[in-house]
Structure 1
Amino acid sequence: RALTVGSPRIFYGATLFYLAFGLLNAFAVRRRLATAYVQLVLQASVDLGALLLILFACGGVMSGLGSLFLVPVGGLAFLLPTRSALFLAALTALSMLALTIWQQLSGGTDLSAYATAGVLGAVLFIVAAAASFVESRMRESEDLVRQKDVDLANLAELSQYIVQHLRESLLVVDDDDKIRLINESAAQILGAERAVPNALVGEIAPRLLYGLSTWRTHERQTDPPPNFVAADGARLIQPHFAPLGSRPGGPTLVFLEDTSAMAERVQQSKLAALGRLSASIAHEIRNPVGAMSHAGQLLAESPRLDTEELRLTTIIQSNAERVSTIINNVLQLSRREATKPERLALAGWLEGFLAEFIETMQIPAQTLRVTAAQPVAEMHGGAPIEVRFDPSHLRQVAWNLCDNALKYGADGVDVRLGRLALNNRPFLEIADRGPGIEIQAVDRIFEPFFTGRKGGTGLGLFIARELCQLNRAVLLYEPRPGGGSVFRIVFADPQRWEE
């Protein structure tokens, strides 16, 4: 039925006041002009007063407008404590009952209005109690969610701290070959400036991407992935891959292992075994080999030998010399004397060494080509490149590398010196254009007694790396672009020299 307004002036005045208060209260809430408690008390008072005036102007509870009280009472019950919410419901019910009594005494309604007022009062209590119950459960849920958020944030911070400060170097790569997570140790290996989240692995470390792609294609392969040189050019890194999750094509966890520390432990074990063996070699093998070599020389001087017999004596002497060389190398390795490092101007030392090498080997001077990463006079503020190395050790290492490059190379030897761009450490490279080293043999070339050619002892590169380690340098191998091999000596950091 149509709404009957008995007092239009009161109705319109209360309605306009209610609207103005609502706008003003919205502005106050937005600007936070009052505390939450003051706003709640003021809102409840205005709601109760304005709605009672509207209810009075429309004829009381029989007009059906009493249900308007459900909205403010229920809404405020979400914001007030349970006792305050029930008090508000009781106050509203009593106000409607008092209004009904007033109208009944003035003849504006009948006795049936009391039943309506009672039902509305009961409904108000039910709404207030239900809203308070829902509010308490929501508050508990909110507190639980907030605590979970704090726990998750703490767990994330803890995980991030652990990952960043792990001694192990690790990163996570997604199926688009982008870095999703990387710790500080791995960033130092790959280059801290470029190895950042969302960077492409192929742009930072192409050989790492090659190993990752090969592993994804043959995930159950037993052969280890190929290693690669770190961004500082002074370490050899062995990657290990593991899938994250069970979804095919998902992210991959990559562990980067610095093989230098592991190789040093292995080498120490091998050296200990060689040291124990060297005494027996000296007594049990060296003397008999010397006797055989001497006997072969005497036999070769006999005038009654024909050509075939002379060839056999030559075989005896050459193999005896080879065995003697092996023995001398092993004895030299087991007797490693203390280093006597000196400050060496690398360009000047290299000039003298190459002159001696060319004269001794009787090769054309153009066979050895020397280049610099940049003009030597411009390096490091115009100062010459200085290294700290035992001169006799450096000569032995360089001689071995140049000799190998001559034997395997088809187009001379390229010698290059300079400083690494990332950490300014001096380096010396010896490269050739030979057949290179097969990828499956790369990890073994520095092992003792491993050789790739007939007649080799397998100790040259092993001793060369050991001598470099004694002088706090690193000897690395890389395949040369276009074919061939590159052996690089990375010298100790000049900032960490100890006198």
Structure 2
Amino acid sequence: MMGGAGRVHWRYTLKLRLTLFLLGASLLSLLTHATWTFWPWPALAPLFGMQAPDPWSPWALLLTAVLVLPGIWGLAHVLLAPLTRLIRALEGTVLSYRDGEFSSVITAQAPTGLSELAELLRLHHELGHALREQRHHLAQRELLLDTVVQNTPVALVLTDTQDRIAYANLAARHLLDQGRSLSGRVLTEVLQRAPDDLREALAQPQDGLFSVMVDQQEERFHLSIKDFQLQGQPHRLRLMRRMTRELSRQEVASWKRVIRVMSHELNNSLAPISSLAHSGAELARRGQMERIPGVFASIGERAAHLHAFLAGYASVAKLPAPVLTPVDWAHFLEGLSVHYRFTRDGATPTAMGSFDAGQMEQALINLLKNAHESGSAPEAVSLKVEALRDEWRVEVADRGPGMNEAQLSQALLPFYSTKRSGSGLGLALAREIAEAHGGRILMGNRDGGGLWVAVSFPMGE
């Protein structure tokens, strides 16, 4: 209600002033025209030997306009001068706001009698004050953010489409160019004097790990790359996090886990072998030679189990680089079905794959073996091959009990197994093979029960 009343009052005041101005201009025009066409000029004209003009002649009207317009113009200038100054001041401050300068203050006063303009001026002052406060708070937040980013141990480099460095924090400056400023320089030029591993890592368009000598010590870094739009322009952000200490902790934890698993498995094999050897010696002493072949057979079985266990570890540690060759999917799946039974889900791709057939077969054999050992019905184990954009996806699914969240989070770790007799190497080896092909392995629970495990890797050329 107050806002509506203010608008009505504003219109009324301006209209009233305009009406009075037009009325005054009209009266001035009529008085001027009457003065020299009716009285007193017609009475005085004969004294000067002149003839009184015709009041309605074009020349009389034109002369009236010539005499009246300068007076009206001057009157309008006097009345509107304060309003003109105020409008110009408002224009100046608006232009300052547009340019990001909020310190401008209007010193002009509103014209007398126009309280609405005084209210507008007051609101404008409040707007300027609010903008200055926001600018101050924004500057404080930017300062805080810059302080945090500059002092974080994560090296941060922001580049534009021309690979020119737009921003680099202290850690990045120390890592790339011994603390020198990097802003405005081209990244490739900065990296010319950098170590080869660092230069090769930053040239890659994907995340990864690399090593570099820092302060005469080898440090491991994780590189993370993110592309995004900044002020309407594409930029690339590279984050390099020092991982040496973290990886060392993980390495120690992995070795401890390896030692625990191997110790357990060796004890499980060596203890029965020792017991069987003692039993064989006792049988030989008693002369019960007919039972000795059985003892040796049991020792052989335990030794073979131990050999297979150690061979599994060696297969993970000595995985060779994959040799990519064209592979026909129909022939490949037919050979795979010889090892484990499965149902094909969907059509077999007609396009040729490009991967190391031997390694990929070993990875899928491990996945099929796990699916059959999950308790799933053999006919419920399925395998699906599909092309997704620029990568192949091979999925093995079963109808076993699945896994809980804790098991899913650790299932791909080496030596972790949900089976009492499992070595925890099947999924780990499949993961190594997938990553060696430039891919990854994913897994999750199925709707209705069961587990799916998918190997994805690039299609290649």
The answer to whether TM tops 0.5 is no
TM-score of the aligned structures, taking structure 2 as reference length: 0.44
Of structures 1 and 2, the one with the larger relative CO (CA 8 A, separation 6+) is 1
